[in-house]
C-alpha cells in the first residue's frame, strides 16, 4: 500500500527518488553523510548508507549489496565526504538482509572495521546463507507453504524462490553483537541501539538523541511499508513484534528520520501512526474475507485481497511474500482472538 504523507527532509533526494534517478551524496548534518549505493535488479534501486564522522575515520550504518558496482559506489561516495574505504572503523548493520549486510565483509577486509549486528539476526545468518544448511530452510518453507494451501504444482517453485539472491551475500560473521538499548562506543556520538523486530527478528534502529536523528533501516520508510511475514526464520507473531516496535519508535524525540531506502523525512510520529493504521485496515480486510468464507486457507485468503496489481499478474516469487505476509496478519488476528485456525493440510481459518 503506497502513501505519501510525510514531509521530505531533502527535496533533492525525494525528487531523485520520484524521477527514477539516483540521489547525490548529501551532508545531512555536520558530520553525517548520506551515500546512495545501488541494488541490482530491484525496484528500490539503492540503499542509503550513512557515514558518521569520528576522530580519524567514519562509522557507517549499513553497507549495501555485495557487488562490484555497489562497492565502487560506496568507495566513490566516501571519497565525496573526504574519506577512504580504509577509514571505516565500524559497520553498524540494521539487519541481515543482503541489501544492508551484503558488503559488510568486504568493507571489513579493506579497512579492518568491526561489524555489529543484533544477536537475533546473527544467529540466523548461517541457516540462511550457508550452502549446507539452506536445504533445510527450503524444506521448512515448503512445509509452511503447504500448510498455507499453496497448490501442489507451485510448491517447489515458491519454496526455492529466493535462493538466487544468496549469491550477493558473503558469509561474514559479525565481530560484535549489539543489544537493545546499548550505547555504541563511537567517540563524539551518543548513538543508542533500538531493537525493532518484525521486518527481521534482529532489526535495529539507531537513535541519536542529541542530534534528534533516527537511523531507521527498513523499519520506518517514508512511502512504502516493509514486508512483515511469517517464514521459517521469523518469530511466531512477527506483526505483533513489528507494531509494538513501531509504536515504541514513534514515542522517541526525533526531528529527522534517516531510512535505508527512498528519502529522509520529518515527522516520525505521523508516519508511524499511518503505518499502524495501514496494518489495522489490512487486518480488517483479512478478517472480512475469512468471515465471508466457511473455512479458508491462507493462500486463498491472499488471492482475494487487494494488492498493488491483480493477483494473476503478480509473479510467482512475489506471491510467496504475499502469502507469508497474509499469514502474519492471520496469526496476529488469531492471537488477538478475532480468528481461529483449524490445523490441517492446509490449515483453515474461521471467525473466532
Ligand atoms: Zn530488509
Ligand atoms: Zn532494505
Residues 177-234: tens digit of each pLDDT: 999 999 999 999 999 999 999 999 999 999 999 999 999 999 999 999 999 999 988 9
Q: What is the mean pLDDT of residues 108-117?
A: 98
Cα(226) to centroid(ligand 1), Å: 7
Task: Give distance in angstroms: CA of 275 to centre of ligand 1.
Answer: 16
Q: For residue 55, report the distance from its CA to the centre of ligand 2, in Å.
A: 29
CA of 215 to the centre of ligand 2 (A): 13
Q: For residue 4, is pLDDT > 60?
A: no
Query: What distance in angstroms lies between residue 325's CA and the mean position of ligand 2's atoms?
Result: 16
Residue 89 vs residue 172, higher pLDDT: 89
Q: Looking at residue 2, what is its pLDDT?
A: 46
pLDDT digits (tens, 9 = 90+) for 310-334: 999 998 888 999 999 999 999 999 9
Q: How far is the CA of 342 from the centre of ligand 1 (A)?
A: 32
The burial class, CB within 10 Å (0-12 / 13-18 / 19+), for 262 is buried
pLDDT at 181: 98
Spacing, Cα 101 to ligand 1 middle (Å): 10
- Give pLDDT, residue 164: 54
- Here the cell at position 235 is 518469530
Distance CA 248, CA 231 (A): 24
55 Cα: distance to centroid of ligand 1 (angstroms): 30
Identify the pLDDT of residue 41: 80
pLDDT at 1 over 70: no
CA–centroid distance, 132 to ligand 2, in Å, is 26
Per-residue pLDDT reduced to its tens digit, 250-301: 999 999 999 999 999 999 999 999 999 999 999 999 999 999 998 999 999 9
Q: How far is the CA of 99 from the centre of ligand 1 (A)?
A: 7
CB 298 within 8 A of CB 327: yes
The fraction of the chain above a pLDDT of 70, given in percent, is 94
Task: For Cα atoms 147, 152, 155, give the angle at the middle one, nearest 5 degrees.
Answer: 75
How many angstroms separate the CA atoms of 8 and 89, rounded?
Answer: 30
Task: Answer yes or no: is pLDDT of 3 > 60.
Answer: no
34 and 9 Cβ atoms separated by less than 8 Å: no
Show the cell assigned to 287: 478478517
Rounded distance from Cα 100 to ligand 2 centre (Å): 6
Percent of the chain with pLDDT over 90: 83
Q: Of 90, 68, 74, 259, nearest to 168 (Cα)?
A: 68
Res 129: pLDDT: 64
- The predicted-structure confidence for 135-170, as pLDDT tens digits, reads as follows 788 889 999 999 999 999 889 888 887 665 555 556
Counting ligands in written order, the one closest to the CA of 99 is 2
What separation in Å is there between the alpha carbon of 82 and the centre of ligand 1?
29
**pLDDT tens digits, one per residue of 26-44:** 999 999 999 999 998 888 9
Q: Which residue has the higher pLDDT, 4 or 68?
A: 68
**How would you class 176 by CB atoms within 10 Å of its CB: exposed for 0-12, middle for 13-18, buried for 19 or more?**
middle
CA 217 / ligand 2 centre spacing (Å) = 7
Q: 48 CA to middle of ligand 2, Å?
A: 9
Amino acid at each position: 500500500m503506497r502513501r505519501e504523507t510525510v514531509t521530505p527532509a531533502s527535496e533533492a533526494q525525494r525528487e531523485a527518488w520520484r524521477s527514477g534517478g539516483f540521489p547525490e551524496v548529501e551532508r545531512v548534518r555536520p558530520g553525517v553523510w548520506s551515500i546512495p549505493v545501488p541494488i541490482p535488479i530491484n525496484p528500490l534501486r539503492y540503499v542509503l548508507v550513512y557515514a558518521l564522522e569520528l576522530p580519524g575515520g567514519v562509522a557507517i550504518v549499513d553497507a549495501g549489496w555485495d557487488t562490484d558496482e555497489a562497492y565502487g559506489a560506496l568507495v566513490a561516495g566516501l571519497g565525496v565526504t573526504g574519506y577512504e574505504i580504509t577509514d571505516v572503523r565500524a559497520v553498524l548493520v540494521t539487519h541481515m538482509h543482503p541489501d544492508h549486510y551484503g558488503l559488510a565483509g568486504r568493507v571489513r577486509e579493506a579497512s579492518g572495521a568491526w561489524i555489529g549486528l543484533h544477536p537475533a539476526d546473527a544467529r540466523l545468518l548461517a541457516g540462511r546463507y550457508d550452502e549446507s544448511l539452506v536445504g533445510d530452510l527450503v524444506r521448512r518453507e515448503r512445509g509452511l507453504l503447504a500448510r498455507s494451501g499453496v497448490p501442489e504444482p507451485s510448491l517447489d517453485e515458491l519454496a526455492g524462490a529466493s535462493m538466487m539472491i544468496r549469491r550477493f551475500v558473503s558469509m561474514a560473521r559479525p565481530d560484535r553483537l549489539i543489544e537493545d538499548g546499548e550505547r555504541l562506543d563511537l567517540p563524539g556520538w551518543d548513538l543508542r541501539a533500538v531493537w525493532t523486530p518484525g521486518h527481521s527478528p534482529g532489526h535495529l534502529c539507531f537513535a541519536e538523541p542529541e542530534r534528534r536523528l533516527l537511523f531507521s533501516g527498513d523499519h520506518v520508510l517514508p512511502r512504502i511499508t516493509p514486508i512483515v511475514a511469517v517464514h521459517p526464520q521469523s518469530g511466531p507473531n512477527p506483526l505483533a513484534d513489528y507494531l509494538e516496535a513501531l509504536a515504541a519508535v514513534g514515542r522517541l524525540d526525533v526531528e529527522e528520520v534517516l531510512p535505508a531506502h527512498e528519502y529522509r523525512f520529518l515527522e516520525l510520529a505521523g508516519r508511524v501512526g499511518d503505518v499502524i493504521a495501514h496494518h489495522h485496515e489490512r487486518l480488517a480486510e483479512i478478517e472480512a474475507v475469512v468471515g465471508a468464507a466457511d473455512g479458508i486457507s491462507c493462500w486463498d485468503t491472499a488471492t482475494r485481497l487487494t494488492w498493488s496489481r491483480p493477483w494473476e499478474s503478480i509473479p510467482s516469487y512475489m506471491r510467496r511474500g504475499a502469502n507469508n505476509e497474509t499469514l502474519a496478519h492471520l496469526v496476529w488476528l488469531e492471537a488477538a482472538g478475532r480468528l481461529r485456525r483449524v490445523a490441517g493440510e492446509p490449515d483453515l481459518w474461521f471467525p473466532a
